[in-house]
Homo-oligomer: A and B are copies of this chain.
Amino acid sequence: MVDTDSDGRRPVFAAERRQRILELVRANGAVSLRELAQAVQSSEVTVRRDLRALESEGLLNRHHGGATLPGDLNREASYVQKVALSSAEKSAIADLAASLVEDGDAIVIGPGTTTQEFARRLTRHAELAVVTNSLLVAQALANSPRIEVMLTGGTLRGPILALVGSAAERSLAGLRVRRAFISGNGLTAERGLSTPNMQVACVDQALAAAAEEVVVLADHTKIGIDAMVQTVSAEQIDHLVTDDAAPRDVLDELSGKGVRLHVAQI
């Protein structure tokens, strides 16, 4: 039975109906099943079938009670989930890196989720002096009375909560500490550590320059990757702390350039 509508209109084809549903969802962002059924003059069962078909084509997302535009809700979620994914590796790397710190040390810590995790491990140490341009690192150490935390000045880069710019670099100029613990977005033997942002790269260089030894914290997802701007060359890196899923060949290359390897077992 196809629509023996009282006023005798022609039957509405399924494709038309689905198009109509799609338009409604696109226009309103989110529409309930009931509204859709009423709008296209069909039963809820039929609309449900249409929604299932449209969802399988990726044209919308179904929810209890209706449908919404796709991608509306998951945009940033996927990023955060990705970050949370490699947390086991990050944690192991942070543990291993913390063993490179001794009581009484003066160190520099750069921004990044791994270095933040690393900073949390330092609260057990005594009489540390820590310089950082990362608000997250500073926060992680704020409640440790035996650790003196100094922040560089600078312009706040919102997404990563780190300080950049000439003021940040200037405040690191006269500084000299034992080790710098920094991270980045990619690490290869040819181009060393790299990040996609110029300002961040400049500050990372300044951080590395302030230390006698440079320690890079990088999980396996970053090894072999090359981002836009080089921060420190492989020759400048003294230690690399990573996890055992890192590609062996790249590690060997780095080792050949004088980088001492510390591989965390997951």
Which residue on chain B has the smallest CB distance to residue A70?
Answer: B80
- Write out the residue numbers on chain B whose beta carbons fall within 8 Å of the beta carbon of A34: 10
> A265 on the interface (CB 8 Å rule)?
no
Given contacts A66-B10, A153-B151, A153-B153, contact A158 B136 (CB under 8 A): no
Contacting pair A84 B65 (CB below 8 A): no
7 A-B pairs besides A13-B66, A148-B155, A150-B165 with CB distance below 8 A are: A13-B65, A58-B81, A58-B83, A59-B80, A75-B139, A138-B156, A149-B158
**Copy number of this protein in the oligomer?**
2
Contacting pair A139 B80 (CB below 8 A): no
Q: Which residues of A contact B (CB under 8 A)?
A: 2-3, 8, 10-11, 13-16, 18-19, 28-32, 34-35, 57-59, 61, 63-66, 68, 70-73, 75, 77, 80-81, 83-84, 116, 135-136, 138-145, 148-156, 158, 161, 163, 165, 167, 171
Q: Point out the residue from B15, B77, B171 that lies within 8 Å of A59, measured CB to CB.
A: B77
Given contacts A15-B73, A32-B10, A66-B10, contact A153 B171 (CB under 8 A): yes
Contacting pair A57 B70 (CB below 8 A): no
Contacting pair A136 B13 (CB below 8 A): no
Contacting pair A73 B2 (CB below 8 A): no
- Write out the residue numbers on chain B whose beta carbons fall within 8 Å of the beta carbon of A139: 72-73, 75, 135, 161
Q: Give Cα A77 to B144, complex, Å.
A: 14
A166 CB → nearest B CB, Å: 11
Contacting pair A136 B32 (CB below 8 A): no
Q: Give Cα A66 to B10, complex, Å.
A: 10
A163 CB → nearest B CB, Å: 6
Contacting pair A64 B13 (CB below 8 A): yes
- Write out the residue numbers on chain B whose beta carbons fall within 8 Å of the beta carbon of A57: 77, 80-81, 84
Contacting pair A161 B73 (CB below 8 A): yes
Q: Point out the residue from B3, B65, B155 that lies within 8 Å of A150, measured CB to CB.
A: B155
